[in-house]
Amino acid sequence: MPAYRTVGSSFGLSLGAAILLCSAGLNLAHAKPFMIVGLDEKVLWDDDGKTVLSLPGKDQVLIVDLADPESPKIVATLPLENSVVGPPVNVDIDPSGAVALVANSVDVVKDGGALKQVPDNKIFVIDLKATPPKLAATVTGGKQPSGLSFSPSGKMALVANRADNSVSVLSVNGTDVKVTDTITFPDSVAHVLFTPDGKRALAVRFPAHKVSVLDIAGDKVTYNKVDLPTGQWPYNVVVTPNSKIALTSDNGGAGSSDGSVDTTSVIDLEATPPRIIDRVVVGDGPEGLAMSPKGDVAVAAIQRGSNMKKAFFYQKNGSLSILKIDGKKVTKTQDIEVGGLPEAVVFTPDGKYLLAGNYLTQDFSILRVDGSKVTDTGKRFKLPGHPASARMGH
C-alpha cells in the first residue's frame, strides 16, 4: 500500500482515531464493574476472642476496578470511617454505578483511660462519576446504621439502624440523598434488602429471629406486620434475581462462632404470604452472604472461630459454603477454605468470579465460578487494611 495520504484523508483518520479513543475512554469510565470495600482499622481480637480497640482515623473506603477479576486495581481511596460491627453489607453501589453509600455503624471513643464503641449515625454519599471518586455528602441517619441497599431503580435506599430499632428510607437523586421516612420495629434490624422486582424489601431482625416483609409502592414503604420465623440470630439476606426465593444467614445459638449448628433459611416469596420452606445447614458463624447474578448459586462466608485462638472451635481460616439453587431447592455442595475471618462475599456482575474479603489476613480470595462449581484460583488481592464490608456494582 503506497505511503500516500491527502490532507483530507489524514485529517479524517486523525479525527476518527480521536473519536474512537474518546469513546473507549468513556466506556472505560462507566463500563467496568466497581467493588466498594470498607476497611476497619479500629477492631481486632486477642487470643481469647476479646475485642481490642484502637482510636479512629485510619479507616478507609476503597473503590476497586474489577475489569480483570483476577487482577483487581484500587482506583480510589477515601479516608472514611467504616466498621466490622454488624453484617458486612453497610456499603452499596446504585444500579447505574454512579453513586455509593457507606454507613458508619460504630465509632470508637475514649472513656476515661479506656476505649469503647458507641453507635454512629453517619451515611456517606460517594460520587463514583468523579475522577477519582469522591465524598459528595454526609447524611445523618438513625443510630448504628448497618446493612443497607439501593432499590432496583436506584431512586431509593433503605438503611437498617441496629441501635434505633428502625429502617431509614432515603430518596436518591444522583448524589442528593435525603432521609424521607423511618419505619420502626419492636427490636433491632441488622440488614434490609430490596427484592429485584422492587415490590418488597426484607428486614432482618437479629434478636427476634425473624425476617419482616416490607411492601414498596412508589416512594412509600410499609410494614404490614408480615414476619417470618428464620433460624436463630439471622444477620443477612439475599434474593434470587427472579425474586422467587430469599436466603438468610442464621447464626445458631449465640450469634457468633461457637460450634453451634448454623443455617440458611429458604424463604418462598411467591407464597401468599411468604413463608420459610427449608433450612440448610452451613458452617460455623455465617455472616457474609451473596447471590450470583445468574441465580443458580449462593455463598455464605463462614468464620469458623478464626478470631478466637483459644476456643475449642478455633480454625485459622474461615471458609465458604457454596449453595446450589435449583428452583426453590437449595443444597450445600462445597466447603472451600479461604483466609482469616471472611466477612464480605461478592460475585462479579457476569457471575463468573466470586471474591471473599478476609478480615484478619487483609486480602480477598479470588474464586472462579463455572456453573454451580466454585474453584479457588489461588490468587489473593492484598489490601492496605482489614476488609469489614464490600458490595459489587452492577
Is residue 109 within 8 A of residue 122, CB to CB? The reply is no
Domain membership of residue 327 (yes or no) is yes
Q: What is the CATH number of the domain that holds 166?
A: 2.130.10.10
Query: Is the alpha carbon torsion for 91, 94, 96, 100 positive or negative?
Result: negative
- Residue 301, pLDDT > 60, answer yes
- Residue 29, pLDDT > 60, answer no
pLDDT band at 2 (very low <50, low <70, confident <90, very high): very low
CA 177 to chain centre: 20
User: Can you state the percent helix, strand and coil of the chain, rounding each to 5?
Assistant: 5, 55, 40
**pLDDT, the chain, mean:** 90
- Residue 10, pLDDT > 80, answer no
Quote the pLDDT of residue 49.
Answer: 85
Query: Is the alpha carbon torsion for 50, 54, 59, 64 positive or negative?
Result: negative
Q: How far apart are the first and last CA of the chain?
A: 46
* Count of domains observed in the chain: 1
Residue 19, judged by CB atoms within 10 A of its CB (0-12, 13-18, 19+), counts as exposed
Return the bridge partners of 205, or none.
210
pLDDT in tens, 310-369: 777 778 899 999 999 999 999 999 999 999 999 999 999 999 999 999 999 999 999 999
Domain membership of residue 185 (yes or no) is yes
Domain membership of residue 358 (yes or no) is yes
pLDDT band at 7 (very low <50, low <70, confident <90, very high): very low
Q: What is the CA radius of gyration of the chain?
A: 22
**Cis omega (within 30 of 0) on the bond before 273?**
yes
pLDDT band at 189 (very low <50, low <70, confident <90, very high): very high
CA 351 to chain centre: 15
- Residue 4, pLDDT > 50, answer no
Query: Residue 136, SS3?
Result: strand
Beta-carbon contacts of residue 165 (< 8 Å; ≥ 6 apart): 184, 185, 186, 187, 188, 189
- Residue 31, pLDDT > 80, answer no
Percent of the chain with pLDDT over 90: 82
Give the cell for residue 168.
431509614
- Residue 307, pLDDT > 90, answer no
Grid cell 445458631 in the structure block, residue:
252
Quote the pLDDT of residue 16.
Answer: 40
pLDDT band at 140 (very low <50, low <70, confident <90, very high): very high
Greatest C-alpha distance within the chain: 83
Query: Residue 22, SS3?
Result: helix
Quote the pLDDT of residue 71.
Answer: 97
Return the bridge partners of 221, or none.
216
Quote the pLDDT of residue 306.
Answer: 74
Domain membership of residue 22 (yes or no) is no
Return the H-helix or E-strand segment holding 278. strand 275-281
Quote the pLDDT of residue 148.
Answer: 98
Return the H-helix or E-strand segment holding 127. strand 114-127
Question: Comparing 261 with 190, which gets the higher pLDDT?
Answer: 190
Rounded Cα gap, residues 351 and 372, in angstroms: 10
Domain membership of residue 19 (yes or no) is no
Q: In what order do the strands lie in the sheet with 319-326?
A: 286-291, 297-302, 319-326, 329-337
Quote the pLDDT of residue 285.
Answer: 83
pLDDT in tens, 93-126: 999 999 999 999 999 999 998 999 999 999 999 9
Domain membership of residue 24 (yes or no) is no
pLDDT band at 260 (very low <50, low <70, confident <90, very high): low
Quote the pLDDT of residue 14.
Answer: 39
Question: Taking phi first (over 0 means left), then psi (-120 to 50 degrees means alpha), and beta for anything else, what does residue 244 get?
Answer: alpha
Domain membership of residue 123 (yes or no) is yes
Give the cell for residue 362.
487483609
Quote the pLDDT of residue 28.
Answer: 39
- Residue 5, pLDDT > 80, answer no
Rounded Cα gap, residues 35 and 92, in angstroms: 9
Domain that holds residue 312: 32-392
Give the number of C-alpha atoms closer than 13 A to the C-alpha of residue 360, restricted to the C-beta side: 21
pTM, entire model: 0.90
- Residue 6, pLDDT > 70, answer no
Give 332-363 as a 3 state SS string: EEEEEECCCCEEEEEECCCCCEEEEEECCCCE
- Residue 191, pLDDT > 70, answer yes
Rounded Cα gap, residues 180 and 101, in angstroms: 16
pLDDT band at 255 (very low <50, low <70, confident <90, very high): very low
Quote the pLDDT of residue 137.
Answer: 98
Domain membership of residue 250 (yes or no) is yes
Determine the length of the chain. 394
Q: Of 260-264, 287-291, 309-313, give the lowest mean pLDDT range.
A: 309-313
Question: Taking phi first (over 0 means left), then psi (-120 to 50 degrees means alpha), and beta for anything else, what does residue 380 get?
Answer: beta
